[in-house]
Amino acid sequence: MSEAPRVYVVVLNFNGAAHLAACLTSLLETEYANYRIVVVDNNSLDGSWQVADQHGDRMTLIRNRSNLGWSGGNNVGIRHCLDAGARYIVLANNDIKVHRAWIREAVAAAEAAPQVGVVGFDVHEAPDATAAEAAFEAACRAWRPAPAVPVANVGGMAMFVRATLFRELGLIDESFWAYGDENDFLRRATLAGYTAAMVNVPIWHFGGGSFGRSSLRAALLQTENNIQLLLKYSSAWGVMRAGVRHIWRRWLPRRRPRPATAVEQRLRGQSFLVNAALLPIAIMRVAVKLPRIIRSRRAAYRTTSAVRLRRSRGL
């Protein structure tokens, strides 16, 4: 009998004392034979990285000398996993809990369909974290296996990736730093001919993470990176249309339903005046990066076209 595919779970941590121990305890209950956990600490100041040393020999700790953000921190972990021969790599936030079958079901979905490059899960998150966790626990009790289904987006809090994609497409784009980085990677995967799928295994995500204590910065980063993402992949018409939709959803008082996701909370959590001020600041920050964004756009289309061509020829 052949060995189960090797899976590495990269847990990015920055000042995660409130969640990391519970997260690692949950991950270590995973029912899968061939997996390891790599905790990448982004220079935490609260000693939370020490938790990783208390969770057994399935754990590897990497400590960065500075906070490299979501993209840079994960890239450190991804490089380690690729060097170790990972077949699949999971990018996981430090504030999640998982059903024990999560890796097993994701591996099964990917092994059954070589075109599937990214797999997501049934994520439970809400402004009321207690209610979301209760819904997650109920979903775990009621869970039964079901076929994977195609999806357009996969959240970066628990993103299962075929390691081949990182080798073919490159790592996470570090110009995003935090927010939008997973969307950028998934867009490149799609352009290269891969698809995304979701398995019905429950995941709980507290949401907010380290930036939950800095909502203004989080809102600015989310706005800035949404613009960057548009410029990297959309036409001029697409940028204009998305800009109008963004203002319509975010600012107009009568168009403000209760935000249900972490992204909506970041974008709509400020007052009308603060929101109005954030957009020009974000635009100016993006303008400074525009030459790099243009180069990145060209490189992304060039790389993904080459990968798609090789895949179409079966190479």
DSSP letter for 149, please.
E
Tallying the residues shown for the chain, one arrives at 315
Exposed/middle/buried for residue 261 (C-beta within 10 Å: 0-12, 13-18, 19+): middle
Position 255 pLDDT exceeds 60: no
**Angstrom distance (rounded) from CA 301 to CA 290:** 17
Mean pLDDT value across residues 153-174: 96
User: Which class would CATH give 7-211?
Assistant: alpha beta
Pick from 155-159, 229-233, 305-309: least confident: 229-233
Exposed/middle/buried for residue 244 (C-beta within 10 Å: 0-12, 13-18, 19+): exposed
Helix (H) or strand (E) holding 83: helix 69-83
Tell me, what amino acid is at 297?
R
Q: What is the per-residue pLDDT for 214?
A: 57
Q: What is the pLDDT of residues 274-303, one digit of tens each?
A: 777 888 888 899 999 999 999 999 999 999
Mean pLDDT value across residues 195-208: 92
More confident residue, 309 or 58: 309
Write the CB contacts of 152 (distance below 8 Å, at least 6 apart in sequence). 196
More confident residue, 99 or 238: 99
All CATH 3.90.550.10 domain ranges in the chain, comma separated: 7-211
Write the CB contacts of 83 (distance below 8 Å, at least 6 apart in sequence). none
Going through 74-194 in order, the beta strands assigned E by DSSP cover 88-93, 96-98, 116-124, 149-151, 158-162
Position 212 pLDDT exceeds 60: no
Residue-averaged pLDDT of the chain? 87
More confident residue, 68 or 131: 68
Position 168 pLDDT exceeds 80: yes
Mean pLDDT value across residues 239-256: 61
What crossing angle do the helices spanning 215-233 and 272-312 adopt, rounded to 10°?
Answer: 40
**Angstrom distance (rounded) from CA 188 to CA 217:** 27
* Token reading at 204: 């709980």
b/e burial code for range 97-136 (CB count within 10 A of at least 16 → b): bbbebbbbbbbbbbeeeeebbbbbbbbbbbbebeebbebb
Q: What is the pLDDT of residues 47-70, one digit of tens each?
A: 898 888 777 678 999 999 999 999
Which residue carries 């092994």 as its tokens?
Answer: 111
Identify which of 61, 58, 84, 65 has the alpha carbon closest to the alpha carbon of residue 11: 61
Nearest 5 degrees, angle CA 19-CA 209-CA 67?
A: 100
Q: How confident is the model at residue 141 (pLDDT cuts 50, 70, 90)?
A: very high
More confident residue, 99 or 180: 99
Other CB atoms within a 10 A radius of the CB of residue 184 amount to 21
Tell me, what amino acid is at 56?
G
Mean pLDDT value across residues 306-311: 92
Q: What is the pLDDT of residues 68-91, one digit of tens each?
A: 999 999 999 999 999 999 999 999
Which residue carries 């949401």 as its tokens?
Answer: 207
Percentage of the chain exceeding pLDDT 70: 85
Q: What is the pLDDT of residues 261-270, one digit of tens each?
A: 566 665 665 5
Position 196 pLDDT exceeds 90: yes
Q: What is the pLDDT of residues 224-241, one digit of tens each?
A: 888 899 899 887 676 677
Reported as half-sphere exposure (CB side, CA atoms, 13 A), residue 78 has a value of 24
